[in-house]
Structure 1
C-alpha cells in the first residue's frame, strides 16, 4: 500500500465537514451470496471505527427468512460493546424495533419507497400502507429517545416504473419526515441519477420544506455517476453521505442495482476538496483489503485498487 493522498484544492461553497454514514456491514454484507461469520462482522465494524468512521450501520433486524445474511443481529450487537461509533440498525416493523430496543440500540432506520412497484416488491405494501406501518414504529422509537432515520429508495428511477417524477419524491419525503424521522436518506437504488437530476430533486424537497440539513444521499455507482452526484448534493448543502467500505453491496430486491459508492472513493474526493471527514484513508483501505480476503474477491473500489495493487 502506498501513502498516496490527493492534492488539496478546496471549492468555495462546499461544507467544511461531511459525516460519512458507513453502510458496508449492513447494506454491503446483506447482498453477499455467502454468510459472513459474526466474528468477522464484529471485527469489520471495529476496524471501520478505528479508521475514523463515526456512524456505522451495523445490521438489520429483518426476519432471517428475508435476509439470512443478517440473521445474527442478536449475536452481533453485544459483541460491539466498546465501539465508540454510532451504530444504527435497520428495522422493518414493530417487531424488529422491539428486538433492537431489547439490545439497547439507540439509533434505528426504516426503509421506505417512493414508488408503488418497489414498495410492493420490498414490503408487500403500497406506499401509503408502508407509511402507515412506519408511523407507530417511529413514534415508539422517539418515545424511547431513539434517533430515527428514514430511507427512501427509488428516488431517481425504478426498474419497473422507469423515471420517477420529482414531485412524487418530494411528496413522499415530506410525509416520511412528518412521521418524526430525524433524517432522510435519498436512495438512487439502481444508480441512474445524474447531477442535474440530483439538483432538481433537492430543489423540490426544499420547496416543500425539507431542508438539506435533514438529508443524506445514498448513491449507487451503476453508471459511474455516484461521485459526481455526491458533489452535486454537497453544492446544495447536504452534509451526510452514505457509502460502503470497498464498494460492497447492492439491493437484493432490485437486480439491476450494483454496488454502493465506495467509502474510499468518497474519502479521496473529499480529502482533495479539503473537506474534513475524520477518516484515515490508509486504515480504511487496509480494512477493505482485509474484508475482500474474507469474501474471496477483490474490492471493486478504484481507490482501494490504486492504493494497494500488490495486495489485490
Structure 2
C-alpha cells in the first residue's frame, strides 16, 4: 500500500492518551458468516492482526458446534495460533465444559456472554438472566482461581428487539452481578446498534454512581444505525479506555435480528489517530488485512476507512 494520507492531528479535551482496542473479528466477526471459513484463514487472520499491532485479539469461541458451526474448529485454531508475547488471545466460554477445554488448551483470557434482558437471555442461552448468571458463577470462580482474566459481555445494554428500550437500572443491576461473580472486565454491548451518545453517557454515569470503576468498563458498539463512532467518542470522554471493534466491520449477532455490523476497527483507528490517541495499530497493515479477508470470504467489508484507503493501493 502507498503511504497513507495524513491530514493532521488535533486532540479534544477530556480524552485519554491511549486506548486499547479489543479486536473481535476472528470470533464475533466470523461467527455470523454462512459459508464456513477454513481454519487456515482464521489462523492467518489472527497472525495478521497481531502483525498490525493488536494486543487483544478475541480468537474463537468454545461453544457447542451445533450452536455456532462457523467456530466448530475452535480447538484446532487455538492449537495452531502462534501466541506472541504481549498479546492476549481471549476465548468465549459458555459453561464449565468450555472452561475445561480452554484450560487444557492453555488459554489465559476467557469471556462469558450475559444479557441485560430476559428476552435475549432466552433467545441466546435458553435461560433466564438469573439462570445464566448461576451457570456462569462456577465458571468465573474456577477461571479466576486458575489465574485467568475474565471478561463479562453484557448484551442489549441500550435496546432489545423484543423489549425495546432497556431501563438503565436493569442494566446496572446485571452489570454489578457480573462483577460480583469475579469478572475482571465488563464489556457493554449495543447489540442492535440503537444507542445514541446521550444514552451512552447516561448509562456510564449510572454505573459509576453504582460504584463500578470506569477502568473495568469496555464498550462494544454496533454500527447498525451509524452511531458507533459517536457513541465511542462519548464513552472515551466518560473515561472508558477499552473499545471493541472488528476488522472491516465484520460481524453481528446470529440470535438478534438486525444486529448487523460491528464497529469497524479501521474507522475507529482513523478517528483515534486524528485525535492523537495512541493505539499501537498500523492502519495500513490493518487495511491490507481487511482487503485480504474480504477476498477470502467473498464479499466486501463495510469499513468506510478501509474502502477509502484501499483505493490508495
TM-score (norm 1): 0.98
Q: Find the aligned partners of 1:23 and 1:4 in 2 and give their Cα distance.
A: 26
Q: Name which of 240, 246, 249 aligns with 1:247.
A: 249
Alignment partner, residue 181 of structure 1? 183
* Residues 88-145 of structure 1: CA deviation (Å, up to 9, x unaligned): 0000011111111100000000000000000000001100111111100000000111
Match of 1:26 in 2: 27
Residue in structure 2 matched with residue 211 of structure 1 by the alignment? 213
Q: Is the 8 A contact 1:250 1:260 kept in 2?
A: yes
Q: CA deviation at 1:310?
A: 6.9
What RMSD in Å do the two structures reach over aligned CA positions? 1.0
2:62 — aligned with what? 61
Gaps of at least 5 residues in structure 2 are none
8 Å Cα contact 1:108/1:146 also seen in 2: yes
2:154 aligned partner: 152
Aligned partner of 2:74 in structure 1 is 73
1:236 to 235, 238, 255: 238
Deviation at 1:81, TM superposition (A): 2.6
Matched, 1:7 2:4: no
Structure 1 contact 216–241 (Cα < 8 Å) conserved: yes
For the residue of structure 1 that corresponds to 2:111, the secondary structure is strand
Structure 2 distance, partners of 1:37, 1:200, is 42
- Cα deviation, residue 82, structure 1: 4.0
Q: Secondary structure at the match of 1:8?
A: coil
In 1, Cα distance between equivalents of 2:130 and 2:311: 48
Contact kept in structure 1, 2:26 and 2:45, CA below 8 Å: yes
Normalised by the length of structure 2, the TM-score is: 0.98
The alignment covers a number of residue pairs equal to 311
TM-fit CA distance, 1:5: 3.3
Distance 2:258 2:150 in 1: 28
Unaligned runs of 5+ in 1: none
The 5-angstrom pairing of residues 1-312 of structure 1 reads 1-2=1-2, 3-84=4-85, 85-309=87-311
Structure 1 residue ranges (4+ consecutive) displaced by more than 4 angstroms after TM superposition? none
Q: Deviations over 1:38-69 (max 9, x none)?
A: 01100000000000000000000000000000
Give me the whole-angstrom Cα distance separating, in 1, the residues matched to 2:39 and 2:106. 19
Check conservation: 1:151, 1:185, Cα contact below 8 A. Answer: yes
2:159 is paired with a residue of what secondary structure? Answer: coil
C-alpha distance in structure 2 between counterparts of 1:12 and 1:116, whole Å: 39
Distance 2:83 2:99 in 1: 22
- Contact in 1 for aligned 2:23/2:244 (Cα 8 Å): yes
Q: Distance in 1 between matches of 2:270 and 2:82?
A: 30
Higher alpha-carbon deviation: 205-214 or 218-227: 205-214
1:212, distance to aligned residue in structure 2 (A): 1.0
CA distance in 2, matches of 1:105, 1:13: 36
Q: Distance in 2 between matches of 1:139 and 1:55?
A: 22
Q: For 1:191 and 1:101, how far apart are their aligned partners in 2?
A: 33
Determine the C-alpha separation between the residues in 2 that align with 1:32 and 1:242. Answer: 19
Query: Are the aligned partners of 2:246 and 2:262 in contact in 1 as well (CA < 8 Å)?
Result: yes
Q: 1:184 to 1:82 in 2, by over 3 A?
A: closer
